[in-house]
């Protein structure tokens, strides 16, 4: 996750604020686990795996079902349909979905299609913002400070927020909160 340099400090602060607002709108405090499912309900999204997505080409299903090399994508906007890779670790699935909801929250447009996977492509800046916002949604800065105050370890924090330890380290580094 080397995207910190690509986003300005101001932009990162903006994304952190957007995450805080989104959590608070749905009644989640900064220290609470915020499941992607809460966002799915809020945005009335249906989450698919390749095997159950309606009207998909069999060749496309084949590619997606047998590959670790993709995370998730929005395949329809209204109603919102998200396809995701259930082969990834559960914590990664959670951050993959957060990433897609970040695109939704930020109203990012797609700029093309990956012809093989049938998934949308976006500007690199939008991708970086979605990665960053996804992380803020999973582990807000204030949630991390709360965890530090309680002297929680990286693995305890990961478990608490249903995030990967890599994500905890990333959030810790970008916020200069050393655990």
Q: Determine the Cα–Cα distance for residues 65 and 24; give it in Å rounded to an integer.
A: 36
Beta strands in 10-136 (DSSP E): 46-48, 72-76, 81-84, 112-114, 119-121
Task: Quote the least distance from Cβ 72 to Zn ion, whole Å.
Answer: 8
35 is written with which tokens?
Answer: 């499941």
Which is nearer to Zn ion, 137 or 157 (by Cβ)?
A: 137
**Contacts with Zn ion in 98-127 (CB under 5 A)?**
127
Distance of CA 172 to CAs 1, 125, 142, 175, Å? Answer: 13, 22, 11, 5
Q: Determine the Cα–Cα distance for residues 36 and 40; give it in Å rounded to an integer.
A: 6
Count of residues near Zn ion by CB under 5 A: 2
Task: Quote the least distance from Cβ 121 to Zn ion, whole Å.
Answer: 9
Which is nearer to Zn ion, 130 or 136 (by Cβ)?
A: 130
Residue choice 74, 83, 130, 136 for contact with Zn ion (CB under 5 A):
130
CB distance 80 to 104 below 8 Å: yes
Task: Quote the least distance from Cβ 13 to Zn ion, whole Å.
Answer: 21
Which is nearer to Zn ion, 73 or 157 (by Cβ)?
A: 73
Which is nearer to Zn ion, 71 or 86 (by Cβ)?
A: 71
- The footprint of Zn ion (CB under 5 A) covers 127, 130
């Amino acid at each position: 996750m080397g995207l910190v340099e690509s986003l300005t400090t101001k932009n990162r602060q903006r994304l952190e604020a957007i995450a805080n607002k989104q959590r608070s709108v749905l009644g989640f405090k900064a220290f609470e686990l915020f499941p992607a499912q809460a966002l799915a309900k809020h945005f009335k999204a249906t989450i698919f795996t390749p095997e159950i997505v309606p009207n998909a080409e069999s060749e496309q299903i084949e590619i997606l079902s047998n590959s670790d090399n993709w995370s998730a994508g929005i395949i329809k906007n209204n109603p919102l349909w998200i396809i995701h890779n259930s082969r990834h670790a559960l914590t990664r699935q959670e951050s993959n979905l957060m990433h897609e909801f970040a695109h939704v929250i930020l109203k990012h447009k797609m700029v093309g299609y990956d012809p093989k996977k049938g998934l949308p492509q976006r500007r690199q800046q939008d991708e970086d913002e979605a990665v960053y916002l996804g992380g803020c949604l999973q582990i807000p800065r204030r949630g991390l400070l709360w965890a530090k105050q309680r002297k929680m370890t990286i693995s305890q924090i990961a478990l608490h927020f249903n995030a990967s330890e890599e994500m905890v380290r990333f959030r810790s580094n970008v916020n200069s909160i050393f655990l």
